Amino acid sequence: MRLAIGMVLLVAALFVASLLSGQAPVGAGQSLQALVAGDGTPLSVVMREIRLPRALLAAMIGAVLGLSGAAMQGYLRNPLAEPGLIGISGAAALGAVLAIQTGLSLMFPLALPLAALGMAVLAVLLILMLAGPRGASITLILAGIAISALAGALISLALNLSPNPFAAADIVFWMMGSLADRSFTHVWLALPFMAVGAALLASLGRGLDALTLGEDAAQAMGVNLTGLRLRLVLGTAACVGAATAVAGAIGFVGLVVPHLLRPAVGARPSALLWASALGGAAMVLAADIAVRELLPARDLKLGVLMALVGAPLFLHLIYKTRKEMA
């Protein structure tokens, strides 16, 4: 498939560009050589311990966020569904903050992604309960606002109560997201959860296709709706939970990417799943490169760039679908 090949090439190119992006005044060839050689020189350390995990995480996080956005939209049959918008990223961030502030993550490193996953599950369940079968857009967005607001407030509270003088400033990281100075520790922490979550979501293809005709018809075609919902909840929570635990809440990926790619895959939900994964990886890689190239001296947060791109698109989507929402 031409689209698939094109997207894989795009992701690969952006991956390499991400490896070459940073403050070191060295040429591309030299950087890549240092990456492969691994000879303990400072440049090699920078490439292997700082840039490589960052590029990997950008691709992984982008992929799972795109995938979970496409999956949620397919299930809810609503193009506005997106983990960041409907409060799942916020809830996951709350779980991560609680794990850190209670010291749980120090004793037991896996507690960090697990706590984020746990809170994400609660948020997804709440959303499904409120905006359930073919929920109206308005209910979905309102539920998302409520959950985001609650999560944000609780994060603020937890951070302000901390004895650590820097905790309160952490909120910027959690709410806006950042990939700066991530290490392989974070990669290994997130990878198992992302892998399981992605596998669960990838298995939803057929069911989501059938849901194009509505729940009744899909069920009559042999789709197990309960099983589908369970896999959606766990898959989304695992993906978004792990991503948020290591990089903070990064929004809009799951909104922008499926929207842009839907025409290219003929609007089929199953094809949109893998396309959004690749597209999400490309988007986050590109944003992470931009963050480093545009304002290298300042630590521009990833979420800022996402919001600058995503929010206008969101407004555009609202405008386009406003008759249905009335």
Q: Where do contacts with other proteins occur on this chain (CB under 8 A)? A: 22-24, 40, 42-43, 45-46, 48-51, 77, 100-101, 103, 105-106, 134, 159, 162-167, 169-170, 173-174, 180-181, 183-185, 205-206, 209-214, 216-217, 219-224, 262, 266-269, 297, 299
Closer CB to other proteins, 185 or 322, in the complex: 185
DSSP-assigned letters across all residues of 227-275: HHHHHHHHHHHHHHHHHHHHH----SHHHHHHHHHTGGGTT-HHHHHHH
The amino acid sitting at 246 is: V
Take residue 255 and report the two structure tokens written for it. Answer: 């909104």
State the nearest-atom distance from the C-beta of 90 to other proteins, in Å.
16
Q: Dihedral sign, CA of 190, 303, 75, 265?
A: negative
Nearer to other proteins, 309 or 313 (CB): 313
H-helix or E-strand containing 225? Answer: helix 225-247
Of residues 109 and 146, the one with the C-beta less far from other proteins: 109
Minimum distance, C-beta of residue 34 to other proteins, in the bound complex (Å):
11
Nearer to other proteins, 10 or 203 (CB): 203
Question: From CA 203, how far away is CA 200, in angstroms rounded?
Answer: 5
Distance separating alpha carbons of residues 292 and 298, to the nearest angstrom: 9
In the structure encoding, which two tokens stand for residue 103, read together?
């010291």
CB closer to other proteins out of 4 and 224: 224
Answer yes or no: are the C-beta atoms of 277 and 198 closer than 8 Å: yes
Shortest Å, Cβ 273 to other proteins:
11
Q: Closest distance between other proteins and the C-beta of residue 173, in Å? A: 6
User: In the complex, what is the shortest distance from the CB of residue 192 to other proteins, in angstroms, rounded to a whole number?
Assistant: 19
The CB-of-253 to other proteins minimum distance in angstroms stands at: 20
Nearer to other proteins, 42 or 326 (CB): 42
User: Whose CA is closest to 91, among 129, 127, 126, 123?
Assistant: 123
